[in-house]
Structure 1
Amino acid sequence: TEGGDQSGEEPGRGESRAWRSGPFLRQEQSPVSQVEWPQEPRIMPGFPIRRVLVAGLLFSLLLGSSVLFVYIFRSCGPRPCRTQECWDLQAHYLASGNTSVAPCTDFFSFACGESKGTLSSFQALAEENKRRLQKILEEPGSRHLGSGEDKVFQFYSSCLDTDAIEAAGAAPLRQVIEALGGWRISGNWTSLDFNRTLSLLMSQYGYFPFFRAYLRPHPSLPHKPVIQIDQPEFDLPLKQEQEQKIYAQIVREYLAYLNRLGTLLGGDPAKVQELAFLSISMTSQLFQFLRPLEQRRAQGELFKLVTIDQLQEMAPAIDWLSCLQATFTPMSLSPSQHLVVHDLEYLKNMSQLVEEKLLKDRDFLQSHMILGLVGTLSPALDSKFQEARRLLIQKLRELTQRPPMPISPRWMKCVEETGAFFEPTLAGLFIHEAFSPETQRAAMELLTDIKDALITRLRSVPWMDEKTRKRAQDRVTQLQVKMGAPEWALKLSLDRQAYSDIQLGPSYLQSFLSCVRSLRARTVQSFLKSLPQHRWQVSTWGVNAYYSISDHVVVFPAGLLQPPFFHPGYPRAVNFGAAGSIMAHELLHIFYQLLLPGGCPACDTHVLQEALLCLRRHYESIPLPSGLSFNGSWTLLENAADIGGLAIALQAYNKRPLWNHGEAILPNLDLSPQQLFFRSYAQVMCRDPGTLEPQDPHSPPMLRVHGPFSNARDFARHFHCPRGALLNPSSRCRLW
């Protein structure tokens, strides 16, 4: 299934050689001229004319043959793509690559050498998609005045109106605090019932100080929607993940942040400091009750199904029925309503702590919850609050040795918030702008080729028994595919009643909170309707594809299928190397369970474990830049998907007519179609190695290139790598 090697030479050069090396006419005497004719007094004019005609005919045949040869060469060989999309892609590749590096020893630098210190390829694409949304939101011709869609543009404009936000200052937030009864750092405040305050925070402001509650499909079949109770999210990193000295510094930074928030709201400095200290102390106590996901999984306690009544008995400090009923209106809840609880032990301990605080200092709990709300709402306030938040995040990332967060421009923040609150409208507008029916058809054709290649490849997976192999092929055949956008986004509807519950103004914070309530109500309403086959977990303009185990569906959002990863007018090598490899990677997630210990009892476990061990050693043998490391066990499954994704995409690409008929290359890159395939794969992985997050299940970007390439014989063959070079090792692993 491998295609012939291509020199990468431009057709024009080959054409000139074809003319120079073509046969020439030999000037030999014809045998007819050697015959002695009788001497006649008359002239025979026909004879020389006949010779000229014969010679002319031969010349014409030779000329036609040469022209035909050149035509065939140019028609069947790769042609330079000279569309605007290809010129843009060529410029992108030239700007990011460093061709002075030998591709056989460091292809990551060859492809991404000039990308260091810049955004990753996925981040850059996500930013470009947001720029498209910005253009839509700021283009007057996009508006439909009088429709529900008009509120989308009004909200975005109010978010950009920083003059009005600065003029309002902290006043809108003070109004929120007063509506909640105030707090102890100010002179006037009213102590409210604990559960009443908690209910208001959850239902009116979307803030959950002690736990999270949300609607999701049930983890088990038949996946009906159910309220789920989970651990809370904290600004502070977990104590057990930090050294004692570092954690003390983290607490000091967070204490300074809370002090600054209280001071900005006009609080008495002494009272603010006392509240901030007590608040951090309580958060630290809650930390002690948290159990990591890995521990709960190992103990077989990922979730438990309990009724509201049962949860009330086990965690009595919270009025579960009233708080949940207020939050998930118009659902009708009863004490017998079932809930999915993800960490029951945490809820029991949290309830006991709250009861102790209610006995000793009831007023503190109200102030503690309001202080947390202030931190949550600070991004919707003026620049002083936003700067306090930014400084906290920057300090925490420095202390935890994570790269600094880039400062986003105001328009990008406004695009993100508008997209969160008005996703149905923005999804339709983005599809109309950036994902034409032609693009969707081309993407589906590419995925079909990838699926066919995977089904074929499964026939020769060495560790699968025949029954598992057949079941695996059936799983691929039965896979649901969601491409581009949810069905409702493909039918752009400008309903005049859309977002009728959103009240914009008079301040941006009030508009923001109205959108929070509207979004929650729409989410609940959508779950009360008949459950669709799959609820998308990413936005239409997002760049993350994923596979859902519970629904057996793979999702590729329109935001991912954009240049430089995909375009209908790109050379096939680019689309298969970039988007095709991503597709194959996601399809292999179907079989993750088989790779886990005990995941496939009928398989040849010895061969499988040998292949996985080989894979781990293979990655560990590849050198990394100084100071960069990775956990081979943590990244093993993603490494397996990277290696398999490249191999499957290459197999799908190689299934084509002889001589690369219809193939195209990028001009002035001096890369054959096969070389361009690998170059496009590597371009997807380009990112600054220093931006790798600690919990990222993927290997560092250099390994995501060198690992699969060094395991692919075709790479070494097409780049003419000498045996023993880094990317042409003496042995390779066979997993897929």
Structure 2
Amino acid sequence: MESLSSQEFPGAGRPPEEGQPAAGSRCWVVARQLLAAVLLLGLSLGSPVLLVYLLRSCGPGACDSPACRALLARALASRNASASAAPCADFFSFACGEARGSRDPFQALAEENKRRLRGILETLGSQQPGSGEEQAFRFYSSCMDTDAIEAAGAGPLRQVIEELGGWRISGNWTSLDFNRTLRLLMSQYDHFPFFKAYLGPHPTPPHEPVIQIDQPEFDVPFKQEQEQKIYAQNMREYLAYLNRLGTLLGGDPDEVQEHASMSISIASQLVQFLRPLAQRRAQGKPFQVVTIDQLQPLCPSSKELAPAIDWLSCLQATFTPMSLSSSQLVVVHDLDFLKHMSRLVEDQLQNHRDFLQSHMIFSLVGTLSPALDSQFQKARRELSGKLRELTEQPPLPAHQQWLKCVEETGTFFEPTLEPLFVREVFSPGTRSAAMELFTAIKDALVARLRRLPWMDEETRKKAQDRVTQLQVKMGPPEQAPEPALVGQEYNDIHLGPSFLQSFLSGVRARRARIARGFLQPFPRHRWQVSPWGLSAHYSVSDHVLVFPAGLLQPPFFHPGYPRAVNFGAAGSIMARELLHIFSQLLLPGGCPACDTHALQEALLCLEGHYAAFPPPGRAPFNGSHTFLEDAADVGALAIALQAYNKRLLWRRGEATLPNLDLSPQQLFFLSYAQVMCRELSTQESRDTHSPPILRVHGPLSSTPAFARHFHCPHGTLLNPSRHCQLW
């Protein structure tokens, strides 16, 4: 077959059987060789008849490589080709008719990547003692030693609680300094019960790394656009979970109940202080830059900020080895939240110091549950399962110890495992083919920017320059770190005597590694994505877009796939990530020089277009907070299709998949849709994407070429009378 790789990079890193052209492609090679002679001979020799014969006989070839056979099996297993799943009426059912939660392609690929990582970890036992590979093997082995973890029981966790001062429900509590406990939680346990602090690029140019203070995360959804009945059920389940934790740690049931109820009350009050990002943007304050001494002022008249927290001490301990001072600038995402949070903490310290301590312990136990014995893990899984059931989400996959252990080992030993994983799954030929695909997508975006009616010339020129100047990384960094530097990453990881202690040592070492990375000039730390992960990452500070090796795998991408598959699946993913760079332009005030009337018309068209679809699921769907992702979905499909059509114009003999009875263009749209195949369920409140059925039907119905290639009658769901073009 003639794959993207075989066209652009002959023989680059491909197995021999996948580098052979299909019959149709060989025919086109012959046709090209004869074309020059045909043109020279002219009409006198009847050459047009010969040319027409060659063109008609050189149809697309069928791809029969192992990679294509596996892709075909997946497509046939997922696709619903019955008459009831008419592509023009419901393409999601046509492409994903048999899809259920377990067939989510991202979940399946994530698990496959972890299986590969598991195979690597289980072969590292013979490495040099003290090396990163040997430590990774020992950590993974201790995680898999469930007998030892069960034998230790709650003992290691009780030791942690005692180091934090204990808590009243266990009968051994010392009323220590609140900020001492908070400092330990942040620096030693990577736990933030009242706010979240992390290192990230500054929101404005030149995007230098800076400490950011954001809203906290919560174990359960606290009354976010929920019905009162569901909210009450959530709280009952969460209370039962906290009661179970306290009982497992030896607390008296009545006292546990009281402290668990107060912990939920504290969390509920914190939630009331939160302001959504959209609201902060509308008020012109999506973030504020302040100094540490402004958060914790020495002047009593300035106590309206957040004086309950010893910010300098807590942040310095958390981000060691960085050297901080009271004049250090930090980015605060919601200063009003910090003010209210500080007052709540001060009130609790004056009246209920023991309840405040219990709240911090309860939330810490939840964070540490993956490293605890089966009773704690089971309690956590059952809580998650019940909460998902209440919100009509699909159940979680069955618990597998190896999967949890691979995830944790990968988190703590990523610098060592990265080259081993990439060497196994990402050949130079795969990288070259992926770069060629991205170049085609990038060129298509530049071309589309020239035709946007709402974009002014200056903004258009800047946008085109940003696209052309963008760096892209496929797989791992080109420069691997020095072995000596990799070895230094693990000097602070001390394994044993319990798995919890090994886990906490890994937590501390990883946090220190991140802080050291931000002090180094080499921007390796800004990748923020593991090689076996599935999320692309854009580094705004370096203007670099990263696609990890784990994402550029079957079923989304393979050098031996037909181009229709690579452009429809991986190409649309790449285009979506490119458009995210320009999402700010679509926000109010994001493009002052643009034609705001034309832009608003395009946005309203898109909003009305999505609102016309039947609501997915039983609960009403509010698409107002998904419009940025909707715009990216529609634009990504248009860009990927334009890039694919250009390749077809210059490269004939497109390969197909046998037994699907689909043209190359139809295969392109099928591949796009099957990226979205997953269970139809109610959206999580924080999900900024539309439900999967809308992510398929919205873009396809905005693409006239889809209706043309599937012969959809005018006026059907996926061939409406009006189409929207935003990108």
- TM-score, normalization by structure 1: 0.85
Matches of residues 414-563 of structure 1 in structure 2 within 5 Å? Answer: 414-487=405-478, 495-530=486-521, 532=523, 535-549=526-540, 551-563=542-554
Q: Is the 8 A contact 1:147 1:495 kept in 2?
A: no
Larger Rg: 1
Q: Does 1:317 align with 2:308?
A: yes
In structure 2, what is the equivalent of residue 82 of structure 1?
Answer: 64
The amino acid across from 1:424 in the alignment is: P
- Check conservation: 2:201, 2:541, Cα contact below 8 A: no
Q: Please name the residue that 1:263 is paired with.
A: 247
**Per-residue Cα deviation, 1:616-645 (whole angstroms, up to 9, x for no partner):** 333333345562653343332322222222
- More displaced 10-residue stretch of structure 1: 691-700 or 412-421: 691-700
Amino acid at match of 1:86: C
Q: Find out whether 1:394 has 2:376 as its counterpart.
A: no
1:194 positional shift: 2.1
3-state secondary structure, aligned to 2:681: helix
CA RMSD of aligned residues (A): 3.0
Give CA-to-partner distance per residue, 1:159-194, whole Å, 9 cap, x none. 111111111111111122222332212334433222
1:509-658 mapped onto 2 (5 Å cutoff): 509-530=500-521, 532=523, 535-549=526-540, 551-623=542-614, 627=618, 629-656=620-647
Q: CA contact under 8 A between 1:424 and 1:489: conserved in structure 2? A: no
CA deviation vs aligned residue, 1:536-590 (integer Å, no higher than 9, x gap): 2332211122445554432222111110110011111111111111112222223
User: 1:330 aligned to 2:290?
Assistant: no
1:246 aligns with one of 216, 223, 230: 230
Q: Which amino acid aligns with 1:166?
A: E
Matched letter for residue 672 of structure 2:
Y
- Contact (CA 8 Å) 2:494, 2:505: kept in 1 or not? yes
Q: Per-residue deviation at 1:656?
A: 3.6
Kept in 2, the 8 Å contact 1:210–1:350? The answer is yes
After superposing the two structures, state which structure 1 stretch, 554-563 or 462-471, moved more: 462-471
SS at match of 1:655: helix
The correspondence for 1:215, drawn from 199, 212, 215, is: 199
- Identify the match of residue 724 of structure 2 among 706, 725, 733: 733
**SS of equivalent residue, structure 2 residue 410:** helix
The residue number in structure 1 matching 2:94 is 110
SS at structure 2 position matched to 1:582: helix
Are residues 548 and 665 of structure 1, via their aligned partners in 2, closer, same or farther at CA, if it must alter by over 3 Å? same
Residue 407 of structure 1 aligns with which residue? Answer: 398
Rounded Cα–Cα distance in structure 2 between residues aligned with 1:431 and 1:111: 31
Checking the alignment, whether the CA contact within 8 Å between 2:473 and 2:547 is kept in structure 1 is yes
Q: Is the 8 A contact 1:463 1:607 kept in 2?
A: yes
Q: Distance in 1 between matches of 2:98 and 2:268?
A: 44
- Change beyond 3 A, Cα 1:691–1:315: closer
Amino acid aligned to 2:252: D
Aligned to 2:362: 371
Q: In 2, distance between residues paired with 1:708 and 1:243?
A: 31
Q: What residue identity is the alignment partner of 1:238? A: F
Report how far residue 142 of structure 1 moved.
8.5
CA separation in 2, counterparts of 1:415 and 1:94?
Answer: 31
What CA distance in whole angstroms lies between the structure 2 residues aligned with 1:292 and 1:449? 37
Distance 1:321 1:605 in 2: 44
- 1:284 paired with 2:275, answer no
- Whichever residue aligns with residue 208 of structure 2, its letter is K
Give CA deviations for 1:194-240 in whole Å, capped at 9, x if unaligned: 22222222222222222222222222222222222222222232335
2:189 equivalent to 1:205: yes
Task: State percent identity of aligned pairs.
Answer: 72
User: Per-residue deviation at 1:532?
Assistant: 1.9
- Partner Cα distance (1:141, 1:163) in 2: 20
Structure 2 counterpart of 1:325, one-letter code: Q
**Change in CA separation of 1:428 and 1:144 when aligned onto 2, cut-off 3 Å:** farther
Letter in 2 for 1:432: R
2:343 to 341, 347, 352: 352
The residue type paired with residue 590 of structure 2 is G
- Cα distance, 1:80 vs structure 2: 0.9
Alpha-carbon contact 1:182-1:189 (below 8 Å) kept: yes
- Contact 1:119/1:687, CA 8 A, preserved across alignment: yes
**Aligned-pair CA distance for 1:496:** 4.6
Counterpart Cα distance in 2 of 1:287 and 1:541 = 34
2:564·2:667 contact (CA, 8 Å) conserved in 1? Answer: yes
Unmatched segments (≥5 aa) in structure 1: 1-9, 16-60
**Which amino acid is 1:340 matched to?**
V
- How far apart, in 2, do the equivalents of 1:65 and 1:290 lie? 73
Query: 1:470 and 1:11, CA in 2 relative to 1: closer, same or farther beyond 3 A?
Result: same
Pick the aligned partner of 1:172 from 156, 177, 185.
156
Paired position in structure 1 for 2:176:
192
**CA distance, structure 2, for counterparts of residue 286 and residue 658 of structure 1:** 58
Paired with 2:514 and 2:110, the residues of 1 have a C-alpha distance of: 25
* Counterparts in 2 of 1:87 and 1:174: CA distance versus 1, 3 Å: same
Paired residues of 2:394 and 2:679 also in contact (CA < 8 A): no
Verify the 8 A CA contact 2:292 2:311 in the aligned structure 1: yes
The 3-state SS of whatever aligns with 1:481 is: strand
SS of the aligned residue for 1:374 comes to: helix
Instruction: Check whether the contact 1:202–1:208 (CA below 8 A) recurs between aligned residues.
Output: yes
Deviation at 1:431, TM superposition (A): 1.0
Deviations 1:118-144 (A, max 9, x none): 342222222221222122212358855
Aligned pair 1:673/2:654, yes or no?
no
Match of 1:704 among 695, 702, 705: 695
- Segment drifting more, 160-169 vs 314-323: 314-323
Do the aligned partners of residues 143 and 565 (structure 1) sit closer, same or farther apart at CA in structure 2, a change above 3 Å counting?
farther
Match of 2:113 in 1: 129
Cα distance change, pair 77–212 in 1 and its aligned pair in 2 (3 A): same
Mapped to 2, the partners of 1:251 and 1:245 lie a distance apart of 10
Partner SS, residue 730 of structure 1: coil
Q: Distance in 1 between matches of 2:709 and 2:384?
A: 46
Secondary structure of the residue aligned to 1:377 is helix
Q: Is the 8 A contact 1:419 1:426 kept in 2?
A: yes
Q: Is residue 2:81 matched to residue 1:99? A: yes
Q: Quote how far apart the aligned CAs of 1:607 are.
A: 3.2
Map 1:231-242; keep pairs closer than 5 Å: 231-239=215-223, 241-242=225-226
**Contact preservation (8 Å) 1:95, 1:114:** yes
- The alpha carbon displacement at 1:481 in A equals 1.6
- Cα deviation code 1:21-70 (max 9, x no counterpart): xxxxxxxxxxxxxxxxxxxxxxxxxxxxxxxxxxxxxxxx99x9999988
Gaps in structure 2 of 5+ consecutive residues: 1-21, 28-44, 298-304
Alignment partner of 1:305: what SS? strand
CA apart distance, 1:155: 0.8
Give the stretch that moved more between structures: 518-527 or 606-615: 606-615
User: Which residue does the alignment assign to 1:58?
Assistant: none
Q: How many corresponding residue pairs?
A: 679
CA contact (8 A) 2:132 2:487 kept: yes
